Amino acid sequence: MEERKNIFDYLAQALTVFGFAMAVLNVFCLLFGESAKEVSAMFALGRKGIPAEIVFQFAAVSVLITVFRFVFFTDVFIRNMKVWLRAVCMLALVVMTIAVFAVTFQWFPANLWQPWAMFFLCFGLSVSGSYGVMSVKEKTENRRLEDALKRLKSKEERQNEQ
Amino acid sequence: MKIEILVDEKAEDLTVSVTCRHLTPGVEKILIALRMINHQLTAKKDNEIYLLDMEQVIYIESVDRKCFICTPDEVYETEIRLYELEQRLEEYGFFRVSKSFLIQLRQIQSLKADINRRIRVTMSNGEQIIASRQYAQELKKRLGVI
């Protein structure tokens, strides 16, 4: 049976999302911090780092993403829903959450189209990357299952011959 | 219930005889257990009792406390619970893949991993059965994938 997940597993997931987001944000901070500090609360300190309140806001987003994942990718709340629909709903909720945080906490100027375009471009690239990794993982797993099935069938054939 | 064992050196075949007043569910269970030794399953269809070779069984589905045995041509019914069948049929290559399904491994045509850590199992009759996440891990272990 599959091992049941506990609160610490979900905490680990949230911290993984948070850690990855912070790593990417720090790279952006080093690259664009100085030029973006006038318009973005995220880069208010320029190249010096991410402000503490932004760190906590990202921690909250990470927790919410983990909650969405729990809602859509376990059968606790939703039982009969196709996987692609689960993924679409979750992505839509994640986009909405980030958009709400961005506007509320002035992560970037909400009245300009360029930051939104960059946001959707970055989000799209991340989703495409994740989808690519998942596809490769799925193909590898299918190949292993196929091989295992072949082994099972040939074992049976040998047994039948005996 | 009395159990009598008669050892007769002249006996050519092993004979098991069951004497009862009526064919009760309890007696049926005894008969089913005996049939299993012969790689056969006892099942009903249209109030008639059939003897099925285990090899022809593709899967067994549990619906509303009844189990339905699916073969390439027909679907039969049995009173035995799925968990009992699971215990008894494990050694004959049957495997539980979800709360409602017991499949025969040799009747698997193909396997496909789903994104949600489930496994889509296509049986020899083309029907698709989903191995739930809880059982998919066990199925992988059984197949030697993990």
Based on the number of CB atoms within 10 Å of its own CB, is B60 exposed (0-12), middle (13-18) or buried (19 or more)? buried
Q: Which residues of chain B have pLDDT under 70?
A: 115
> Domain locations in chain B?
53-143
Between the alpha carbon of residue B76 and those of residues B52, B54, B91, the distances in Å are 9, 13, 21
> With an 8 Å Cβ cutoff, is A37 touching chain B?
no
**Strand ordering across the sheet containing B66-70:** B48-53, B40-45, B75-78, B66-70, B59-63, B101-104, B94-96
pLDDT band (50, 70, 90) for residue A45: very high
pLDDT score of A23 more than 50:
yes
pLDDT score of A2 more than 70:
no
Q: Which residue in chain A has the smallest CA separation from B138?
A: A1
Choose the closest CB to A2 out of B110, B112, B133. B133
Token reading at A89: 């709903």
> With an 8 Å Cβ cutoff, is A148 touching chain B?
yes
Inter-chain residue contact A1 with B136, CB threshold 8 Å: no
> With an 8 Å Cβ cutoff, is A161 touching chain B?
no
pLDDT band (50, 70, 90) for residue A1: very low
- ipTM, two decimals, is 0.71
SS3 annotation, B25-82:
HHHHHHHHHHHHHCCEEEEEECCEEEEEEHHHCCEEEEECCEEEEECCCCEEEECCCH
pLDDT at position B37:
74
- Mean pLDDT of chain B, nearest integer: 89
Element (H, E) at A4: none
In tens, the pLDDT along A94-148 reads: 999 999 999 999 998 888 898 899 889 989 999 999 889 988 988 999 999 999 9
Cβ-based interface (< 8 Å): residues of B facing A: 105-106, 108, 110-117, 119, 133-138, 140, 143-145
**Mean per-residue pLDDT, A69-84:** 84
Could you give the CA distance from residue A120 to residue A124 in angstroms, rounded to a whole number? 6
| Percentage of the residues of chain A whose pLDDT score is greater than 90 | 59
H helical segments located in chain A: 7-36, 52-73, 83-104, 113-161
Domain B53-143: give its CATH architecture. Answer: Beta Barrel (2.40)
